[in-house]
Structure 1
Amino acid sequence: MSQQFSPTGFKVLPTVVKHLLIINCLFFLATFTFERFHIDLTEYLGLHFFKASHFHPYQLITYMFMHANFGHLFFNMFALWMFGNTLENLWGSKRFLLFYMVCGIGAGLCQELVQYIQYATSLANYATVNMGGNIVTMDTYLNMMNTVGASGAIYGLLLAFGMMFPNSMIYFYFLIPIKAKWFVIGYAVIELITGLTGVDNVAHFAHLGGMLFGLILILYWKKNPAGPNKNFRKLKDVFQSLKKRSRTKYTHYEEVYDKVPRSDEDYNYQKAQKEKDIDAILDKVAKNGYSSLTDEEKEFLFKNSK
């Protein structure tokens, strides 16, 4: 049974998506503002080829917030709103932000790799480049390789949406209904073909790189539901440290479970309820991390882990 995807309005946007929209728009406005003072922010914040003199490592992050024109910004932000809204509500803000940044940085790394292959196979042995009669130095030419845009991260979100909601309906050009899984596959094929043919000046392999890194991260999360930075193997050490804490009050869990059951029925009910509470706490750890637990929950989990 298929689902129909209908994004909610701006007033209920989750935190990270909202702030990403604002930051991208501010960077876009700043680009034109600084141009009046003859300062090209794209030159500083766009992603240069790593062998170029204008390259800086921080550009692997800043390039995601720069856009070439209004159309570039609009369609990326529309996709961020459309897919990011649902994914952040599904994953939570921390995991969503991690995914977005990993996809964006991964896209940049893939673009750097493709540019290096181009450089190593056709440019490395030359000191100058003939650009239609205009001879420029190799360093000048390499500095022209400048990538901007959130598209790599957006393509990662597109892939994630297709994997999380494969049968949801997306209206292509607002008219043609298509399932998310086919929409994602179709876009990936188009990006691969246009990237190999080189028919335009778009960083198609950066888009594919965002999808690739997104795929790797989702598969990792599926294999390790606790996710990065939430390693359950560390809980044992945390529980040991809790032994040193002195308790100052009688907790809710003690009130419920430290009572001596009056009958077998009470015992079975108490046991089933305890397992349910333990599962709920572990789910909370998996979604939001151990630090999200209250002292009462930590004490209860420690006591029942023995």
Structure 2
Amino acid sequence: MNWIDRLERKYSRFAIKGLIKYIVIAAAFIFVAVNLSDKINYFVYKTLTLHRDGILQGQVWRLITFIFIPPNKNIFVIFALYVLYIFGSSLENMWGSFRFNLYYFIGVLSAIIAAFIAGSASTVYLSLSIFLAFAYLYPNFKLLLFFIIPVKAKYLAWFNVFFVITTLIFANIEDKVAALFSFLNFFIFFGRDFWRKWVTPKISAFLKKRRRRKFKVIVPPKKFEFVHKCRECGITSKEFPNVFFGYCKICGSDYEYCEEHINNHKHTT
């Protein structure tokens, strides 16, 4: 029994069932409100988002309210909320309410830590962590991208990983910290399995290849060795390397004899 199982046995009664449903409904309501009124838009993004300075000034509600705030007013937020509901509901159905709650709130904690380091944070990477968990468990699930293009979850996951990597390289410090912490809940839940399935086999294959290269015996090509043979007695220069061999001037260059028979043999002509 791992630590998650132990926590579930103790605190499962505190889990919020259908958590992602409430979050998506609240986020959708706020999305509509901020698009209808500039005053509401100003109020929401000024007082409810996750900012370190505001929290330190006593606005502790920001620690919770930010999870309901859409990252922007773009129309594609509707699609993002739709897929967030699908992925979150699927994870809750598979894990149960407690484990999904735990995964989500570890992500919330990660965002809060990132905000205190970088100054602010949003729900972009929190939502990304849910998608990565879903794609890891259901890599071949087909999703209609923008309700039109069918794409497997694993391909979108790799695209998002690429996005995070480029963020870590090129973005400002705020986004770098947020991106770095976005994988915290994923690696807490899947790190061991990910290492065993993906990293360990690659390391083993690399080390095996390296050992083969290190201990590979390279056999040099054999040099051609000319062997002299006495036509009279049959001994060779390989058997008797100290014996002199020569050709008979009378018999011709095709007839070779050892030093004993070079002058003591029956000529062929």
TM-score (norm 2): 0.52
Partner of 2:162: 189
Q: Which residue of 1 aligns with 2:80?
A: 76
Query: 1-side partners of 2:180 and 2:131: how far apart?
Result: 11
- Mark the CA change 1:185 to 1:44 in structure 2 (over 3 Å): closer, same or farther: same
Pick closer, same or farther for the CA change 1:36–1:60 going to 2, 3 Å: closer
Q: State the identity %.
A: 23
Q: 1:104 aligns with which of 94, 108, 112?
A: 108
The answer (yes or no) to whether the contact 1:34–1:41 under 8 Å persists in 2 is: no
TM-aligned CA distance change 1:191 to 1:102, over 3 Å: same
User: Are residues 90 and 161 of structure 1, via their aligned partners in 2, closer, same or farther at CA, if it must alter by over 3 Å?
Assistant: same
The count of corresponding residues between Structure 1 and Structure 2 is: 177
Per chain length, whose mean CA-contact separation is higher, i.e. which structure has more relative contact order (CA < 8 Å, sep 6+)?
A: 1
Q: What is the alpha-carbon distance in structure 2 between the residues aligned to residue 54 and residue 79 of structure 1?
A: 35
Q: Would the alpha carbon gap of residues 23 and 195 (structure 1) be closer, same or farther in structure 2, given more than 3 Å must change?
A: same
**Residues 20/38 of structure 1: CA separation in 2 closer, same or farther (3 Å cut):** closer
Provide the aligned C-alpha RMSD in A.
3.8
Deviation at 1:185, TM superposition (A): 2.2
| 1:83–1:158 contact (8 Å) kept in structure 2 | yes
Deviation of 1:90 (Å): 1.0
| Structure 1 unaligned spans of 5+ | 1-13, 116-144, 224-306
Between 95-104 and 70-79, the greater mean CA deviation after superposition: 70-79
Aligned match of 2:181: 209
How far the C-alpha of 1:207 sits from its partner, in A, is 4.6
Superposed displacement of residue 33, structure 1: 7.9
Residue identity opposite 1:88 in structure 2? E
> 1:102, CA displacement in angstroms?
1.8
Structure 2 letter corresponding to 1:23: A
Residue 101 of structure 1 contacts residue 153 of structure 1 at CA under 8 Å; is this kept in 2?
no
The answer to whether the aligner puts 1:87 opposite 2:60 as a matched pair is no
TM-score relative to the length of structure 1? 0.46
Q: Distance in 2 between matches of 1:209 and 1:78?
A: 24
Letter in 2 for 1:46: T
Larger mean Cα displacement after TM superposition, 45-54 or 151-160: 45-54
- For the structure 1 residues 91 and 53, does the alpha-carbon distance in structure 2 shift closer, same or farther, using more than 3 Å as the test? closer
Structure 2 Cα separation of the partners of residues 36 and 177 of structure 1:
38
Q: Which has the larger radius of gyration?
A: 2
Q: CA deviation at 1:182?
A: 3.4
